[in-house]
Structures are given as structure tokens and as C-alpha cells.
Structure 1
Amino acid sequence: MTQQQPTPEAPQVTVRGEGRLEVDPELARIGVSVRARGTDRSSVLATLASRNAEAIALVKSYGEAVAKLETGALSVSPEPARHGRGERVRGYQGWVHLSAELTDFTALGELTTRLADLEWTRVDGPWWALRPDSPAYAEARRQAVREAVRRAREYAQALGSSLVALLELSDTGLGQGGPAPMGGMRMAFAAEAVDAPAPMELEPQRQTVTAEVAARFTMAPPAL
């Protein structure tokens, strides 16, 4: 398609519009790593399976507060002897990684604390996010379009002219800012406790949503 060229009778103005919103997160993601070690391979596998099942059951007990629960990487490997020749094995270790996505932040602090209190279990997170179909993305795009029209109109008015028609509108960028994974908490390999620990107090981190558009308009001939 041939791009319409500007002429003195139909000059053009090209502008960029940005949209930026600060919104509350809609999702919280946590990672759970369950481990087991021992000298007998069969017992390590049995212990790992038991601890994994216990962690999964605990997460599922929170019902609709948990939007997603997935099993990620699984590893079971021998530990070679520190000294000696050949393929001598001094023990075995295994771990399973789970990831959970929660929409109820009230339950989040309690769940993470209870998970971290399980034997040989590590909890990482939370990492805050928005849903892929969050209305915040659409609002940021609308804000960017309104900003582009406002800028173009101001340029036209500065020339004593006015906008006539929109020739092109393109989305040049949309993103979500938030905490990097390294910013999450880590509770590792909690020791067995007699009393249940108090729930962790977690404050959701606001999310930054940005959008950017480029727009091209024709103007009425300016009064120069």
C-alpha cells in the first residue's frame, strides 16, 4: 500500500502518544521446592513423593484462592563419594519444584508460611503480576491514543490549523513493570516446629503498565 504523501494542501503531522498506569496486582506467583536426601535410593524416592504430595495437598486446600498449580522440574541423582575410585555412591538426593498462582492475597501470607514450615521445603516469591487480559492494558492503550490526538491537535492549533483525518495509528509498545524475580522473599528448608508459625504479612507491590502509539494525521492548510 502506497503511503499518502503530504502536500501543501494536505500537510501531515506525526506524533507519539504514551499511556502509563499504576495499578494493584491481580496475581501472586510463588515457587515451592521440596527436597529429600538419604543413603538409600528407594527411601529417598518415597520421602520425596510423600513431601511433594503433602505440599500439593496444602496448596489445594486453599481452593479458589489458588488459580493455578503446576509441577515443574524434577530431579533425583546419586551423590558420589568424596574419596575413592570408581562409581562409589555415598547417598542420593532429589527435589521437585512446584509453582502456584494465587488471586486471593489474604490467603497468600498464610499459605507461604505454612509451606515454608514443611520439612525440607523452600518457598520463593511472591512475584506480583496482572492477568494477561487485565483491563489495565486496554486503559493504557486508550490513554496513549488520547495523548496522541491531544498532541497532534496542539501542533495543528499552533499553526492556526486543525486536524482533518487520521492516516495511520500503530502500537509501538506495551509493557508491564514490576519486581524482578530476585526481589521476592525466600524461606528455605524450615526446621520442624511444634507450634504453627504466624502468617507472613505481605504487601502487594503496585504494577506499572505502559503503552505507546504513533499516529499520523492530515491537517487543513495552516494560516502562516
Structure 2
Amino acid sequence: MTQAIEEPWGISVFGAGRVRVEPSLARVQPAVDVLEPSPDQAFQRAGAAVGRLREVLRRHGVPDASVSGSRLGLTSEYDGHGGGRTLLGYRCQASYSVETEALDDLEQLIVDMVDAGAHRIDSVEFDVLDKPALRDEARRRAVADARRKAQVYAEAAEVRLGPVLHVQDAEAEPFAAFRVAKAGGPSGALAPGAVEVSAGVLLGFSLRH
């Protein structure tokens, strides 16, 4: 059984492009998380940890504009369920996102944040500064890839490739934007590897005999 080609006007080809670059910044998410018998004690201990954390960041040259965070939040924490539960205390939490371009100093920054009172490091992510320019380069490479494939098909079919008639963006933005490829390194060392930017395109060409 043969399949008919709908609207046989030429050739349609998918192209993919990728750009791999070294990361230019890191995002670290430290968090303060304390449990104390009373709300006052919880606020005081968490506030002191936040103050020390800010001092560490300034000492490492991280400007205040590169730090975003949540307000101190307070919740009651219990053990058990129903009528038999007992109050364990009051948990005070605050989380932050810290951006830094000093990647060579990143490990020491994290160590100092923990020593200053960050009870958790929720994540460490690597990124690049100029995302639009990198994505545009990936798109150019995707177009070149699609054109190369179309040329191969045209030569195999003994026809000539005509001009582009249709361009369709084929990116899956939420899924194909940025990926960190892990690199090898000493045990325990942060190895950011490379940030990979992907793009896809569907090109339609006319054909000439």
C-alpha cells in the first residue's frame, strides 16, 4: 500500500542546531531553616543567620541586586496526629537566590554561606548571560542543517533545490532551552561543564527539474 503525499509542492525538511558554551554565571539557592521553642527565639536565630549570610555575600563581592529572597516565614511544627500530637516548636524559614559570575570562587562561597548559617543549599545551577544571542546562533545552525539535508534529498531525487517557501519554528521552548552537561572532575568538585542551547526549524523548499 502506498501513501499519497498531500500538497506535493516541494520538499519539507527539519533541521536542528546546537551551541555549547562555557557557563558565565551560577545561581545558588541557600536557605535558612531553624526550629526553636518560641516564635521570638526562632525569629532571632533566623534573623542572625540571615545577617551573617548577607555579610558573607558582600565579602565575596556579590551585590545586593544579585540576591533575591523571601521574607522570614513562621510555622508551628507538631509531632504525631490528632489529639495526641505535641508541639515541637516554631520553624522559621527564608530562602534566597544568589547570582555570581565569579565561578572560580563558587565552592568557597558555598562553604562560607553554610558556615555563616545557611542550613541548606537547595540547588546550584549554571547559566549564561546572553541567552537570546546564543539561541539565535542555534537557529542559524538549524537552518543550515535543514538546507544541507534538503540538498542531499534533491540530489538523490535528481532535481534542483529551489528557494525557501516556508519557515516554521520547531522549538519546544520549555524543554529545549538550556541544559547543563556535566563534566568530569575531582570527587566533590563543582564541574559545570557546558551550557547547551538547542533550536529546531522546519524549512520548505521548491524543487526544479
Aligned to 1:210: 198
The alignment-based identity, stated in percent, is 25
> 1:178 is paired with a residue of what secondary structure?
strand
The counterpart of 1:78, out of the listed 58, 76, 79, is 76
Shift of residue 94, structure 1, vs aligned partner: 0.8
Shift of residue 129, structure 1, vs aligned partner: 2.3
Shift of residue 82, structure 1, vs aligned partner: 6.3
Q: When the two structures are superposed, what TM-score results if normalisation uses the length of structure 2?
A: 0.78
Shift of residue 76, structure 1, vs aligned partner: 0.9
Instruction: State whether residues 53 and 117 of structure 2, in contact with CA within 8 Å, keep that contact through their aligned partners in structure 1.
Output: no
Instruction: State whether residues 67 and 102 of structure 1, in contact with CA within 8 Å, keep that contact through their aligned partners in structure 2.
Output: no
- Letter of the aligned partner of 2:67 in structure 1? L
- Letter of the aligned partner of 1:217 in structure 2? F
Distance (Å, rounded) in 2 between the aligned partners of 1:19 and 1:65: 36
Aligned to 2:152: 154
Aligned to 2:166: 168
Aligned to 1:55: 53
The counterpart of 1:178, out of the listed 174, 177, 180, is 180
Q: Which has the higher helix share?
A: 2
Q: When the two structures are superposed, what TM-score results if normalisation uses the length of structure 1?
A: 0.73
Instruction: State whether residues 79 and 92 of structure 1, in contact with CA within 8 Å, keep that contact through their aligned partners in structure 2.
Output: yes
Moved more, 159-168 or 132-141: 132-141
Structure 1 runs, 4 residues or longer, greater than 3 Å off: 64-67, 79-90
User: What's the RMSD between the two structures over aligned residues?
Assistant: 3.0
Distance (Å, rounded) in 1 between the aligned partners of 2:76 and 2:118: 18
> 1:163 is paired with a residue of what secondary structure?
strand
Q: State the Cα deviation string for residues 33-86 of structure 1 (Å, max 9, x = none).
A: 112332232122122112112212322333358872111364212234769969
Change in 2 beyond 3 A, CA 1:33/1:76? same
> 1:63 is paired with a residue of what secondary structure?
coil
Q: Which ranges in structure 2 are unaligned for 5 or more consecutive residues?
A: 1-6, 183-187
Mapping of 1:5-44 within 5 angstroms? 6=8, 11-44=9-42
